[in-house]
């Protein structure tokens, strides 16, 4: 699997999904093209999916939130007879590299988190209407929805058969959602996750695996009734016009670097380092939400989020040996703060809310990226508001102190806004500053006292907002030595260390999902019982069961 994976698509290019819009309800049909796999060597039979199918789903969910503010309920259903979804394609998993499998699982779970949160955060609820076999990743699609309706036809069922069939775990949070979200009793969950054939009918409802079980004769009627109920809970505007997410402007160079309109990615594959520069806005913030909406996808605050999101996904999935991401910004921090202020001040406006939530998701994606993250706050930087969050997401931050000889750019500063104290919560449901000062909560209030100030290096250091400050004599050598050292460490050790250190404090369903993916599934995906020549993934479909090393580890 060596071709470049592109996370950008449009509805006109969908091969696996279609959407029918009917006022405040959208019907989302999963109708996977068997011959439409992202790579060669497998067919996507029985509505099974690979990363390409999920890239389209992520695009559907994103467009639903921005382009269709009138939609209050999305009904997710199969476009095929007798099968809902057979889950992740086993042939694909059996032939994929280890890195691709793990990143595939991470992206699919981030996508499910996006529509799982859509009802809670945006009033756009998802209902899953299940007819036919709903297995593995198919059931994980279902349990990420707000409500599951299963037809009682004697054959339709829900299942998580990965353990008995494939010697792996439900890779996108299935086990965690069964216990933490559905709150299925532990012993019953143990039975459920050990059955290849799954659970049908009333038993599925009794065990809380689904919300409604209804006869085929009343299935459509019940789905429509539930959609009306959920639509009644939503405060999304009925008459608002959406914002079309136009294609991103991107240019890929031969050496792997990428230029967007607001983001530059400079890749040094020999050093295993990517330098990501985010350019702040050049113009004043729009005067109103109407003016921002008129700019649409070209509005800086939305465009920058989309481009940064795409850059992160590209580096994650196409540049596996790039171990260090170095973040810089260029521009006027006051302009960044002004653009952010417009959307934060109009939090009750649907578009402002969606832009804020999108930045929240992009920053979470950064938190969950298995690369060493470094922020360099240099002269001329604009780390303010949501861009300042990048410095708090970083594993290390270096800030330039004072004037640099021969550099006429403004002295390096860091600017805090109300955005740093609430809107962009991490997976642990804390702000990055709360997470930073977990052992000293008063430090958060000390930082808050500097709201609106251009904080220079000495003060930023005293407030604990950066790791190190360095003057122009030491800057180049200190930064160079650190980055070279970091890139030389074992990637496995770095992934484990960073994942452990980034999420202190309370556990949530989300931190458990990603923590278990990083540790348990990452490990299981390398074990011969699953992926060895005689492992279950390799032997699936041959009629011969996997041969297991029975030692417990």
Write the pLDDT tens digit of every residue in 435-454.
999 999 999 999 999 999 99
Q: In the numeric block, which tokens belong to residue 537? A: 């993934």
Report the C-alpha gap between 37 and 90 in whole angstroms. 12
pLDDT over 90 percentage in the chain? 95
Residue 172 has pLDDT above 80, yes or no: no
CATH of span 13-232:
3.90.226.10
Average pLDDT over residues 469-477: 96
Domain extents for the chain? 13-232, 251-499
Please tell me the predicted confidence (pLDDT) of residue 3.
82
Per residue, the 3-state secondary structure of 136-204, as one string, reads CHHHHHHHCCCEEEEECCCCCEEECCHHHHHCCCCCCCHHHHHHHHCCCCHHHHHHHCCCCCCEEHHHH
| pLDDT over 70 percentage in the chain | 99
State the burial class of residue 12 (Cβ atoms within 10 Å of its Cβ: 0-12, 13-18, 19+).
exposed
Query: What are the φ and ψ backbone dihedral angles of 159, each rounded to 5 degrees?
Result: -155, 150
Q: Do domains 13-232 and 251-499 have the same CATH topology?
A: yes
pLDDT of residue 520: 87
**Cβ neighbours around 217 below 10 Å, total:** 9
pLDDT in tens, 81-96: 999 999 999 999 999 9
Q: What is the band of 1 on the pLDDT scale with cuts at 50, 70, 90?
A: very low
CB 223 within 8 A of CB 127: yes
How far apart CA 343 and CA 351 sit, in angstroms, is 8
Question: DSSP string covering 5-52, please?
Answer: P-----GGG-SSEEEEEETTEEEEEE---TT--SSSS---GGG-B-HH
Confidence check: pLDDT of 401 > 70: yes
pLDDT of residue 2: 65
Q: How far apart are CA 513 and CA 518, in angstroms?
A: 9
Q: State the pLDDT confidence band at 549, using cuts at 50, 70 and 90.
A: very high
DSSP-based helix, strand, coil % in the chain, nearest 5: 45, 15, 40
Determine the Cα angle at 547 with ends 106 and 139, to 5°: 35
Query: What is the arithmetic mean of pLDDT over 124-137?
Result: 97
Residues 6+ apart with CB under 8 A from 528: 534, 535, 549
Q: Is 77 strand, coil or helix? A: strand
pLDDT in tens, 21-37: 999 999 999 999 999 99
Residues 413-442: tens digit of each pLDDT: 999 999 999 999 999 999 999 999 999 999
Beta strands 83-85; 73-78: pairing state: unpaired
Determine the average pLDDT of the residues in 387-409. Answer: 96
| Cα separation, 509 vs 517, whole angstroms | 12
Q: Please, which residues have CB within 8 angstroms of residue 32's CB and are 6 or more apart in sequence? A: 15, 16, 44, 47, 48, 49, 53, 80
Residue 530 CB neighbour total at 10 angstroms: 24
What integer is the mean pLDDT of 208-214?
A: 98
Please check whether residue 258 is in contact with residue 264, taking contact to mean a CB–CB distance below 8 angstroms: yes
- Confidence at residue 541, expressed as pLDDT on a 0 to 100 scale: 86
User: 266 versus 543: which is more confidently predicted?
Assistant: 266
pLDDT tens track for 269-294: 999 999 999 999 999 999 999 999 99
| pLDDT in the model for residue 276 | 98
CA distances from 202 to 134, 167, 213, 505 (A): 15, 28, 6, 39
Domain at 251-499: CATH architecture: Alpha-Beta Complex (3.90)
Q: What CA–CA distance (Å, rounded) separates 200 from 362?
A: 38
423 neighbors 345 (Cβ within 8 angstroms): no
């Amino acid at each position: 699997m060596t071709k470049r994976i592109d996370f950008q698509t449009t509805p006109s290019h969908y091969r696996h999904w279609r959407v029918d819009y009917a006022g405040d309800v959208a019907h989302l049909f999963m109708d996977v093209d068997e011959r439409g796999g992202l790579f060669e060597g497998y067919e996507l039979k029985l509505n099974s999916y690979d990363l390409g199918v999920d890239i389209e789903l992520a695009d559907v969910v994103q467009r639903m939130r921005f382009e269709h503010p009138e939609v209050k309920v999305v009904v997710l259903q199969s476009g095929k007879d007798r099968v809902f979804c057979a889950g992740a394609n086993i042939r694909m998993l059996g032939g994929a590299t280890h890195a691709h499998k793990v990143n595939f699982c991470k992206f699919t779970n981030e996508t499910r988190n996006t529509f799982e949160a859509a009802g809670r955060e945006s009033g756009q609820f998802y209902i899953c209407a299940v007819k036919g076999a709903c297995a593995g990743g198919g059931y994980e699609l279902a349990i990420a929805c707000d409500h599951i309706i299963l037809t009682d036809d004697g054959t339709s069922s829900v299942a998580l058969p990965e353990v008995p069939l494939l010697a792996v775990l439900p890779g996108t949070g299935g086990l965690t959602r069964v216990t933490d979200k559905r709150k299925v009793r532990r012993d019953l969950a143990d039975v459920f996750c050990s059955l290849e054939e799954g659970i049908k009918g009333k038993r599925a409802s009794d065990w809380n695996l689904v919300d409604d079980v209804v006869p085929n004769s009343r299935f459509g009627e019940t789905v429509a009734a539930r959609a009306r109920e959920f639509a009644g809970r939503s405060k999304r505007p009925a008459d608002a016009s959406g914002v079309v997410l136009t294609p991103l402007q991107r240019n890929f160079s031969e050496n792997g670097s990428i230029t967007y309109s607001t983001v530059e990615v400079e890749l040094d594959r020999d050093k295993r380092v990517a330098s990501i520069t985010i350019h702040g806005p050049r113009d004043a913030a729009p005067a109103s939400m109407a003016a921002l909406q008129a700019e649409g996808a070209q509005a800086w605050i939305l465009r920058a989020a989309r481009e940064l999101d795409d850059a992160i996904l590209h580096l994650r999935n196409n540049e596996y040996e790039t171990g260090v991401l170095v973040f810089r910004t260029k521009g006027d921090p006051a302009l960044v703060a002004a653009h952010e202020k417009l959307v934060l001040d109009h939090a009750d406006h649907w578009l402002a809310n969606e832009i804020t939530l999108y930045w929240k998701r992009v920053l979470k994606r950064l938190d969950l990226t298995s690369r060493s993250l470094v922020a360099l706050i240099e002269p001329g930087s604009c780390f303010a508001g949501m861009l300042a969050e990048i410095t708090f997401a970083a594993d290390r931050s270096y800030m330039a102190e004072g004037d640099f000889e021969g550099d006429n750019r403004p002295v390096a500063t860091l600017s805090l806004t109300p955005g740093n104290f609430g809107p962009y919560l991490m997976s642990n449901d804390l702000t990055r500053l709360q997470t930073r000062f977990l052992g000293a909560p008063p430090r958060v209030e000390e930082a808050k006292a500097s709201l609106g100030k251009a904080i220079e290096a000495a003060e930023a250091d005293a407030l604990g907002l950066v790791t190190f400050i360095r003057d122009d004599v030491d800057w180049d050598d200190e930064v160079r030595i650190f980055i070279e050292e970091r890139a030389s460490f074992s990637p496995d050790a770095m992934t484990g260390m960073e994942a452990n250190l980034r999420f202190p404090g309370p556990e949530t369903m989300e931190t458990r999902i990603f923590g278990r993916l990083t540790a348990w599934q990452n490990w299981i995906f390398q074990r011969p019982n699953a992926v060895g020549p005689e492992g279950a993934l390799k032997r699936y479909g041959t009629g011969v069961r996997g041969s297991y090393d029975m030692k417990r580890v």
